[in-house]
Amino acid sequence: MSEEMIPLEKTRTSTFTTQMKRSFIIAKKDLKIYYNKPPVLIQGIFFPIILFIAMTVGRNVQPLYLISGLMAMTIFLTSTSIGPIVFPWESMRRTFERLITCPISIKTILLGSVWSSFIYGILFSLIPLILGMIFLSMELTISLAIVILGIIMAGFAFACFGLILSVPSTDTPGNTMIFTILIKFPLIFISPLFMAISSSPLAFISPLTYFIDIVNVGLGDISVFGSFGILLDAGILLAFGFGFLYLSFALHGKTLEKRFRG
């Protein structure tokens, strides 16, 4: 008995551009479905506000560091709020198997989470920027292009970072929440938020530091890395982003099987 063959080239479906296009379709779905889920709202909106209040009230913070700190915290927390819950949430709700049997690879789904987290993070980090431009424009000289460069680089890096946070827990968004807090809060606390970037070596582990540096420059300060500092910052953020992305591709490929039980 013969087999009917499907010529591979005819399906044109595994190409880079088709998969890229499909990752945007997934991003659209992620945004529509997850923007108002409790874990996303708590981590993306509630935490930045609470932390902002806790870290600034009663302290005499310079307007510049107030804005850069708030932006850093917001973009970090919001752009890492959707990515980690997509996989566990879809496993829990039993939509994941249907999704992964669409003509896409797991990388496409992960990229979709990156884009949705990226957009969500950017939208929210614009709020402190706009507030700063309205209320503190007298005290700051803002170079919007530099700030936006920083937002884009950091949004990408943090969105990719978020994917790694959903590796350990397979189908319990609650566990993922706890795990992400355990990782994210220490990172925030070692970052130079609401202050000048000191030479504390610990701060340079945190990707937030490089974003803060860019925004500081964009708001009229100078970079701690000297005259071409912001290029270095952008480069490091990009490297962080691709590093995290690569790592998440590898790790999620391994844990995938555990998401399909019974």
Partner 1 sequence: MNAIVVENLSKQYTLPKRSKGGGMGTKKTQNTQGNVQAVDSIGFKVKKGEIFGFLGPNGAGKTTTIRMMTGVLKPTAGKIKIFGLDAWKNQIAVKQVIGNVPEMANTYLSFSGWQNLMFIGELYGVSKEERIKRAENLLKRFDLYEKRDVKTKKYSKGMQQRLLLCMALMSNPKILFLDEPTSGLDVQSAKIIKQIIREYNERGVTIFLTTHDMEVANELCHRIAIINHGKIISLDTPDNIKRLIQEHQAIDIYFTNGVKRQDIEKLPTVKEVQEIKNGFRVIIENIHDSICELVEFIKESNATIKNLNTHEPKLEEAFLKIIERGSKNE
Ligand X SMILES: Nc1ncnc2c1ncn2[C@@H]1O[C@H](COP(=O)(O)OP(=O)(O)OP(=O)(O)O)[C@@H](O)[C@H]1O
Binding site for partner 1 (CB under 8 A): 1-6, 8, 11, 13-14, 18-19, 22, 25-26, 29, 32-33, 93-95, 97-98, 100-105, 257, 260, 262
Burial class of residue 125 in the structure, from the number of CB atoms within 10 Å of its CB (0-12 exposed, 13-18 middle, 19+ buried): buried
Compute how many other C-beta atoms are within 10 angstroms of the C-beta atom of residue 60: 5
Select 4 or 257, whichever has its Cβ closest to ligand X. Answer: 257
Instruction: Tell me the closest approach of the beta carbon of residue 33 to partner 1, in angstroms.
Output: 5
- Would you say 63 and 142 are in contact if contact means Cβ atoms under 8 Å apart? no
Closest to 209 in 3D by CA, of 145, 158, 146: 158
Phi, psi of 36, deg, nearest 5: -115, 20
Establish if 226 lies at the interface with ligand X (CB under 6 A).
no
Residue type, 187: L
> Out of 46, 135, 185, 260, which residue is the one contacting ligand X (CB under 6 A)?
260
Using CB atoms, what's the residue nearest to ligand X? Answer: 261
Residues 228-257 that bind ligand X (CB under 6 A): 257
C-alpha to C-alpha distance for 8 and 18, rounded to whole angstroms: 14
Q: 18 vs 143, which CB is nearer to partner 1? A: 18
Q: At its nearest, how many Å lie between ligand X and the CB of residue 100?
A: 14
Enumerate binding residues for ligand X (CB under 6 A).
257, 260-262
